[in-house]
Amino acid sequence: MYRTSELALQVGLSRSTLLYYEKLELIQGQRLENGYRIYSDRDAQRLRLIQQLHAGGLTLKECKACLDSKVERTILLKRLQLLDAEIAQKQKSRQLLAALLGESGLKEWHESIDKIAPDAHLDWLTKQGFNEKEALRLKWISKDMNEHDQYMADFFNIFKELDRWGPGSEAETLKALAKVPFTPQNIMEVGCGKGLATMVLAKHCSAMITAVDNDEPALASLSERLTTAGLTDRVTTQCASMTDLPFEVASFDVIWAEGSAYVMGVIKAMEQWRRFLKVNGVLVVSDLVWLSATPGADLQEFWQKEYPDMSTPAIRIKQAEAAGYQLLDSFTISEAAWQAYSLPLQKRIETLKPEMANSAALLDIETELGIYQQNRNDFGYQFFVLQKNSS
Ligand SMILES: C[S@@+](CC[C@H](N)C(=O)[O-])C[C@H]1O[C@@H](n2cnc3c(N)ncnc32)[C@H](O)[C@@H]1O
């Protein structure tokens, strides 16, 4: 027989816990004449059973019910479901910690966090040691900080041989230029890449052009083109970020951005670049948009991950108006303009496949090209020619 303190020692519980259990009638000691309670070995065993059920998630009341009568399956089932949910949640937390330690991929996590907290996500990436350029590339291209360096190396290996880095063509650039209601004097092009649109603008108008990109090799390639074409006196290149452009307010009468505004977000771009435009200046942007009102669920899911901000032309026009512009023109680029980008890219993918068979970047680009092939009418690139309101 045990006294309360001896039993407490035996089962590893405190004396006050045992007194509480006694009060709940989980155990019932024999009261001696001197007022002390004593317990049998049976009580000790009952306590061990209670400890196990309690650790399994049952409340003390449920433990008692379980011991005193036939086991109630519904109670146990409910507890089991709760435990399973807790385990699943803990597994998720474990996976995230392991992934943050570099043990597995982080793609889904980056995508989900970017959707609910895009600015905090970028801030956090800079705290992890990524500069703004790499953080934006991670957000839009590699989407996994553990794989980022290899992914970007593969990505640039694929694109370095290609002139066009986004859908478009000379005809589309000229079509948009024709909608500018004055003769441009100073154009800033943002995200010019290797400068295919820059060359078209330079050859078809007499404006001074500042071509901005944050990728040095792309700008070097544009500089070569300019030298060959004898255009260096009218076109200058500038390595800078579109989020922090180093220009005075009202410096340009036209801002041109083909397939690049998405990097900082089209709304932010329209709002932040507006101050660089002169009175009645014009902003020309092209962006990926939904063309169908009823895209398939799989397609929606794909773009929800790749470009959550993808919009319809009508919504972008409303956003432009809210940002202080009026619409001069808007048009969808032609199939030929899409192919000017996709066909050389497809060819490059085929060439590189044997040596880059395991490249995630190659696979992702191939998937995206396939998505377009299968859903040609559901989405496309749209030009917006917008004039800055005077107010
Ligand atoms: C889809 S490509 C389009 C390039 C070019 N307009 C064309 O159509 O070939 C996007 C361009 O934006 C540039 N870019 C990305 N982030 C940038 C940033 N933060 N500041 C300036 N340029 C950026 C890339 O280097 C790339 O050249």
- Summarize the confidence of residues 331-350 as an average pLDDT: 96
* 263 CA → ligand 1 middle, Å: 8
- Summarize the confidence of residues 297-316 as an average pLDDT: 94
List, in order, residues 6 or more apart from 71 with CB less than 8 Å away.
none
In contact, 222 and 191? CB cutoff 8 Å: no
Mutational test site, ligand 1, from 188, 219, 263, max ligand atoms within 8 Å of CB: 263
**Closest atom of ligand 1 relative to the 242 alpha carbon:** 20
- Summarize the confidence of residues 50-74 as an average pLDDT: 87
230: left (phi > 0), else alpha (psi -120 to 50), else beta? left
User: Please, which pLDDT band fits residue 362 given cuts at 50, 70 and 90?
Assistant: very high
User: Please, which pLDDT band fits residue 272 given cuts at 50, 70 and 90?
Assistant: very high
- Summarize the confidence of residues 269-297 as an average pLDDT: 97
User: Please, which pLDDT band fits residue 107 given cuts at 50, 70 and 90?
Assistant: confident
Q: What DSSP character marks residue 32?
A: P
Mind listing the pLDDT tens digit for each residue in 133-172? 999 999 889 988 888 999 999 999 999 999 999 999 999 9
pLDDT value of residue 194? 97
* 116 CA → ligand 1 middle, Å: 25
- Summarize the confidence of residues 306-317 as an average pLDDT: 95
Q: What is the mean pLDDT of the chain?
A: 93
User: Please, which pLDDT band fits residue 109 given cuts at 50, 70 and 90?
Assistant: confident
Distance CA 223, CA 238 (A): 10
**Closest atom of ligand 1 relative to the 163 alpha carbon:** 9
**H or E element that contains 202:** helix 196-204
> Is the pLDDT score of 391 beyond 80?
no
Mind listing the pLDDT tens digit for each residue in 220-243? 999 999 999 999 999 999 999 999
Retrieve residue 373's tokens: 């092939």
Distance CA 105, CA 98 (A): 9
Mind listing the pLDDT tens digit for each residue in 12-50? 999 999 999 999 999 999 999 988 899 999 999 999 999
pLDDT value of residue 350? 96
* 132 CA → ligand 1 middle, Å: 14
Q: What DSSP character marks residue 247?
A: -
What is the third-level CATH fold of 2-71? Multidrug-efflux Transporter Regulator; Chain: A; Domain 2 (1.10.1660)
* 258 CA → ligand 1 middle, Å: 8
Distance CA 191, CA 137 (A): 13
Mutational test site, ligand 1, from 141, 159, 213, 219, max ligand atoms within 8 Å of CB: 213
β-pairing verdict for 186-190 and 208-213: parallel
* 334 CA → ligand 1 middle, Å: 21
Percentage of residues of the chain with pLDDT beyond 70: 100
Retrieve residue 223's tokens: 């500089």
- Buried residues in 79-111 as b, exposed as e (16+ CB within 10 A): beeeeeeeeeeeeeeebeeebeeeeebbbebbb
* 165 CA → ligand 1 middle, Å: 8
Task: For tokens 């020619």, name the residue.
Answer: 385
* 134 CA → ligand 1 middle, Å: 13
Distance CA 302, CA 300 (A): 5
Pocket of ligand 1 (CB under 6 A): 136, 164-166, 168, 191-193, 196-197, 212-215, 218, 241-243, 258-260, 263
Mind listing the pLDDT tens digit for each residue in 177-207? 999 999 999 999 999 999 999 999 999 999 9
Q: Which residue type is seen at 258?
A: E
pLDDT value of residue 336? 96
pLDDT value of residue 97? 79
User: Please, which pLDDT band fits residue 244 given cuts at 50, 70 and 90?
Assistant: very high
Mutational test site, ligand 1, from 138, 260, 284, 306, max ligand atoms within 8 Å of CB: 260
* 151 CA → ligand 1 middle, Å: 17
User: What does the DSSP assignment read for 299-342?
Assistant: HHHHHHHH-TT-B-HHHHHHHHHHTTEEEEEEEEPPHHHHHHHH
Global pTM value: 0.80
Mutational test site, ligand 1, from 131, 212, 214, 219, max ligand atoms within 8 Å of CB: 214
Q: With the C-alpha atoms ordered 192, 261, 312, 152, is the resulting torsion angle positive or negative? A: positive
User: Please, which pLDDT band fits residue 339 given cuts at 50, 70 and 90?
Assistant: very high
pLDDT value of residue 218? 97
User: Please, which pLDDT band fits residue 98 given cuts at 50, 70 and 90?
Assistant: confident
In this structure, the residue with its CA closest to atom 2 of ligand 1 is 165
At the fourth CATH level, which superfamily is domain 170-388? Vaccinia Virus protein VP39 (3.40.50.150)
Q: Where are the domains positioned within the chain?
A: 2-71, 105-146, 170-388
- Summarize the confidence of residues 58-63 as an average pLDDT: 90
Distance CA 166, CA 259 (A): 6
- Summarize the confidence of residues 85-100 as an average pLDDT: 82
* 277 CA → ligand 1 middle, Å: 20
**Closest atom of ligand 1 relative to the 243 alpha carbon:** 19
Mutational test site, ligand 1, from 141, 165, 272, max ligand atoms within 8 Å of CB: 165
* 257 CA → ligand 1 middle, Å: 9
In this structure, the residue with its CA closest to atom 27 of ligand 1 is 193
